Amino acid sequence: MALVRSLAAGVLLLAAAVPAHAQNYPHRPIRFVVPFAPGGSTDTLARSIATKMGDSLGQQVVVDNRAGGNGNIGTDIVAQAPADGYTILLGYIANLAIGPHLYGSKLPYDPIKSFAPITLLAESPNILVAHPSLPVKSLKELVAYAKANPNKLNFGSASVASVGHLTGVMLNQMAGIDLQHVPYKGSGQAVVDVVGGQIQLMFSGMSSVMPHIKANRLRAIAVTGEKRSQAASDVPTIAESGFPGFAATAWYNVAAPAKTPKVIVTRLNQEVLKTLALPDVKQRLESVGFELIGSTPEKLGDYMKTELKKWEKVVKASGAKPE
């Protein structure tokens, strides 16, 4: 009996140590901030999991696009939000691993200290696409054409120092060409312009352009990951197209404001992983180029520190400056 009373007392003390708002979480809708414009890969990923998460949690998960500042505005909104689990972030490599090296001390948040990691969601290689009017069908042909027509080819990206921009810089350096960068305020408009022929090329998240590739409105040239993508298995990588070692992969995560109670972080982690495992969600996201991962909060924290260090060198080499 003494042991039973001791265990019961321990349970009561543990419950008392957890804030009341965390014990009955969630009891109202959750805001899922996407710090980029609608239509891009971050938006696709967030909307693909928000509804299913909401169904499981018993509360609506509302996607809130807060674009601007290369993702900094929306990311800072989450960093400054109450640490109660009702505002969470769809994090992306651009605002959590690249942006800190671009903006330095001007960045309003710390990519590590300002957030409580929840889970690594997915990775996605970019894909280099060309408007059909460009007379090239492979990377070898593109490089030859670019060398024969210096400074005449341009490529779009979501913004300065975005993954798409830095991938183009890497290709320029390795291939000895000079593709001209055209930055946009979000990948959605860049996709519209490459489909319309206003720009000739784009390094894009696969989810944004796969429908256009399938409809022959864009031509796939190469993917930027270490291996071919399941979503476009017939498209070679840049590495196998003559540039061994070339790899540039975007990643996505979910995070909450720092100091969010561990019980809430654990609950959100469980719900996201459960959603990623649903057959319809898995099929939909993999079909447009996402490689679903899922992780513990601790592993995500370690991963972010590694990525932050990795991209520092790439940003410096690009010479990119804040707009």
**pLDDT value of residue 249:** 87
**pLDDT value of residue 105:** 87
Rounded to 5 degrees, φ, ψ at 250 are: -80, 155
Q: How far apart are alpha carbons 190 and 207 in whole angstroms?
A: 14
Specify the higher pLDDT residue, 23 or 309.
309
Count Cβ atoms below 10 Å from residue 58 Cβ, excluding itself. 8
**pLDDT value of residue 15:** 47
Do the bridges between strand 249-257 and strand 87-92 make them parallel or antiparallel, or are there none, so unpaired?
Answer: antiparallel
Decide: 188 and 205 in contact? Cβ < 8 Å: no
Say which residues have a Cβ less than 8 Å from residue 266's Cβ, sequence separation at least 6.
297
- 3 state SS for 232-286: HCCCCECHHHCCCCCCCEEEEEEEEECCCCHHHHHHHHHHHHHHHCCHHHHHHHH
Decide: 95 and 72 in contact? Cβ < 8 Å: yes
> What confidence category does residue 287 fall into, taking pLDDT thresholds of 50, 70 and 90?
confident
What's the whole-number mean pLDDT along residues 136-164? 94
Task: List pLDDT tens digits, range 209-256.
Answer: 999 999 999 999 999 988 898 888 999 999 999 999 898 888 999 999
Helix (H) or strand (E) holding 175: helix 163-175
pLDDT value at 321 more than 90: no
Say which residues have a Cβ less than 8 Å from residue 104's Cβ, sequence separation at least 6.
none
Q: Which residue has the tokens 């057959």?
A: 279
Residues written for the chain: 323
Task: List pLDDT tens digits, range 142-154.
Answer: 999 999 999 999 9
Q: Does domain 125-241 have CATH number 3.90.180.10?
A: no
Q: Does domain 28-123+249-318 have CATH number 3.40.190.150?
A: yes
Specify the higher pLDDT residue, 46 or 68.
46
Domain limits of the chain?
28-123+249-318, 125-241
Q: What is the pTM for the complete model shown?
A: 0.76
